[in-house]
Amino acid sequence: MAIAPGSTNIVASTTMREDEWSQLLARLATAGDEGVFARLFRHFAPLVKGFYLSNGGLTPESADELVQEVMVKVWRKAAGFDPRKSSASTWIFTIARNSRIDYLRKHASNEAATSTLESEDIWSEGTDNPPFVYLQQSLDQRDIDILLSELPQEQRECLFKVYLEGKSHADLAEELNLPLGTVKSRIRLGLSRLKSAVNL
């Protein structure tokens, strides 16, 4: 199927639920369909860009470059996506995270040039995917979404900033003008609430 720029799947696609994105990505995995890919692109490319810009460290131009790289990888790796193991957004998050790490390393240091490792050696399929026996007891993405939205604001804020704004616990403490111990305990409380709710 040819791709017309600005074609009109947008309205339909923004109203899809998360698990339907996963089904769509699974379809891409089996069929390699360009029309399916275009719908995924229109949904996820702006999300990845927004995610990158809130992460810091990237200009809008480099974010655009990286978003394209991520979406090429989504196509190339789609066959490895398994909707029983993760949702589309989690799977794409890991690709976006790894691509950003490699990009920043490549542009920040000479040391990286001497490395035999890339992010995918460290944040690899093998380490990202638990064995099946654990998966059976685990939650689906929607449960996680609900649990996160039920956390007290201050705990959720701390948790999200680690992901969204690239803050270490120490950065967070400085930004929120709180002792490091307080930030750590908020994150710990948030995590333990998730844990006790779902045997996480």
Contacts to another protein from residues 81-110, by CB under 8 A: 85-87, 89-94, 96-98, 100-101, 105, 109
Contact of 34 with 24, CB cutoff 8 Å: no
Identify residues 128-167 at the interface with another protein (CB under 8 A).
Answer: 128-131, 133-135, 138-139, 141, 144-145, 148, 159-160, 162-164, 166-167
Nearest to 164 by CA among 67, 89, 90, 55: 55
Q: How far apart are CA 121 and CA 109, in angstroms?
A: 19
Report whether 68 contacts 39 (CB < 8 A): no
| Residues near another protein (CB under 8 A), total | 87
CB-wise, 14 or 177, nearer to another protein? 14
| Contact status, residue 43 vs residue 21, Cβ threshold 8 Å | yes
Q: Is 189 in the site for another protein (CB under 8 A)?
A: no
Min dist. Cβ of residue 11 to another protein (A): 14
Position 48 contacts another protein (CB under 8 A): yes
